[in-house]
Amino acid sequence: MEVASRHVLLCVIVSLTAHGIGAEKVLVVPPAISGSHWFPLASVGQALAGRGHEVTVVVSQDIVAKRRTERPQLRFESFLDQGSSARLEAKTGQLSELSNKSMLYIAQRLQGSLKDKALHCDLLLGDGDLIERLKQARFQVVITEPFISQCGAIVAAHLGVPHVALLRHDPTGLDYQATGVPRPPSYVPSTMSSFTDRMTFLQRAQNFVVSCVAPVVFQWFVENMHYDQLRKYIGEEETLVGVLAKTDVWLYQMDPLLDLPRPSMPNMVNVGGILAREAGPLSEDLELFMQSSGSAGVVVVSFGSQAKTLNPERAEVMAAAFAQLRQKVVWRYVGEKPAGLGNNTKLMAWLPQNDLLGHPKTRAFVTHAGSNGVYEALYHGVPMVCTPLGADQPGNAARAVSRGLGVRLDFNTFTTETLYQAIMQVLTDKSYQETAALLSRLHRDQPQSPMERAVWWVEHVIKHGGLPHLRARAVELPWYQYYLLDVAVFLLGVCSAVLGTVWYSCSFVCRKVCCKSGSKLKSQ
């Protein structure tokens, strides 16, 4: 036992000294909503804790006990958030209900969510005892997820600590402004659209309008949400873009295989598939169920943590389609058991999605096309039937389909027959299996796993106390200098002066010639 303990200690020391740093203090500030937004942050924090770092997470008081049970390797600080995070959880848990609502209804829900996010941030920053404890801890880096709310970035700036952002995307577009990276709408689709990099003229026109208008609208809401916090905790003249521009590294949960090539800066690092890993063993009863499928295999069905309940009518349609399959079905489902549920279908309130997708019996994945699930399916080479509900899911589904990873259905209109046919298509058409296997090999063929790369960059920031040399000068330029409008005006003036001089000179010469010719004619 003593020898084993020494061996483990030696491994930890070697792994830490390989990057030239010791055990350091890391602060994680997750967004008010959890689920798919919490898992990547928690996993990175756990990976850092596994390398000997002291990782502290700030969460609301009502979930701190749950988080401590889930992640015993992490430390937790808590504050009273007056139920704001619970209200946000309830709203995001009803995501499937928004898919057929009007834009006005969705806008009202968004406004209510922003109020809860603002309150959550106000209460976090306004907890003097908490902030004092965080200051006294002297953290070396703060890791956040800047999804619409930028509370974590404000906390990092208030503490004066280097900041690392881990995100899928930011619909506000503030990340692009803060990094100065161009985003040409001619081939970079908006994150809220279902376009790919091969757009028709009308799609490019629509993408241009959405790429220009949506960030302005979102930014107006977000900047107003954080206006008082910036002035109270950072400075009277500070802006949200200015705070975000100090971010040392942006870790994007993206991979060009699915999210398409696009411009980036040196401090923008792709870590798409950060949660995907080799499949672990299943529980005994679940393994028996998988093995009972025989050669037909299993279809995994999950609509993620943000859609805990489904419309009963939609659930009946899905249950009837699954009942027709030869395959066994594992379905993450919370709610009343559908009347038409087949004997081949197993309902689970929670399922080990990554481990199921990596199981040799899994043949297909029916999903809402959330980014975590899509990347786990890519990693394990499982074709998909995508039925997106909202947010970035239509775009994820469109790009997965464009790569040949599966098919897409409209969640509100598919029938039992169309869902059944879609599942059978990805099960029987070998091209989907072959494409999924090929893309899986490409995705896995990296010098570092996405998680290893994320941890390396966080430790790189810790080691050097920040990476300001990676930030582009573009952020500091006024808009007219960024777009070279001053140069364009200068060159236009020079060209105008030259052309004016030439025109005047030619006119002057012509007049002189004409005058001499006229004098000669008169003398004759």
Give the sheet arrangement for strand 345-348, strand by strand.
Answer: 345-348, 328-332, 298-302, 362-367, 384-386, 406-408
Domains in the chain, start-ordered, CATH in brackets? 20-275+449-471 (3.40.50.2000), 284-444 (3.40.50.2000)
| CB 292 within 8 Å of CB 274 | no
Length of the chain: 524
Which residues is 407 bridged to in the sheet?
A: 385
pTM of whole model > 0.75? Answer: yes
User: Would you write out the chain's pLDDT as a tens digit for each of its 524 residues?
Assistant: 444 444 444 444 444 444 556 678 999 999 887 777 888 999 999 999 999 999 999 998 888 889 999 899 999 998 888 877 777 776 665 554 555 555 555 666 667 677 888 888 889 998 899 999 999 999 999 999 987 788 899 999 999 999 999 998 888 888 888 998 999 999 999 877 888 888 999 999 999 998 888 888 888 888 888 888 898 999 888 889 889 999 999 999 999 999 899 999 999 999 999 999 999 999 999 999 999 999 999 999 998 765 666 788 888 999 999 999 999 999 998 888 888 898 999 999 889 999 999 999 999 999 998 889 999 999 999 999 999 987 788 989 999 999 999 999 999 889 999 999 999 999 999 999 999 999 999 999 999 999 999 999 999 999 999 999 999 888 888 888 888 899 999 999 999 999 989 888 888 888 777 776 656 555 55
Give 216-268 as a DSSP string.
HHHHHHHHHHHHHHHHHHT-TT--HHHHHTT-SEEEE---HHHH------TTE
User: What is the rounded distance in angstroms from the CA atom of residue 231 to the CA atom of residue 431?
Assistant: 56
| Dihedral in degrees, nearest 10, Cα atoms 336, 337, 339, 340 | 140
| DSSP states along 367-410 | E---HHHHHHHHHHT--EEE---STTHHHHHHHHHHTTSEEE--
Kind plus residue range of the DSSP H or E element containing 443: helix 430-444
Query: Is the distance from CB of 304 to CB of 335 less than 8 angstroms?
Result: no
The enclosing H or E element of 298 equals strand 298-302
Torsion of CA 168, 172, 175, 177, to 10 degrees: 160
Nearest to 399 by CA among 232, 250, 254: 254
Token pair of 60 as six digits: 């609301």
**Pseudo-torsion of CA 355, 361, 364, 365, nearest 10°?**
-20
The encoded tokens of residue 330 equal 């594992």
User: Which residues make Cβ contacts (< 8 Å) with residue 233, sequence separation at least 6?
Assistant: 125, 154, 157, 158
According to the model, what pLDDT value does residue 107 have?
Answer: 62
Given a contact cutoff of 8 angstroms between Cβ atoms, the answer to whether 317 and 414 are in contact is yes
DSSP 304: -
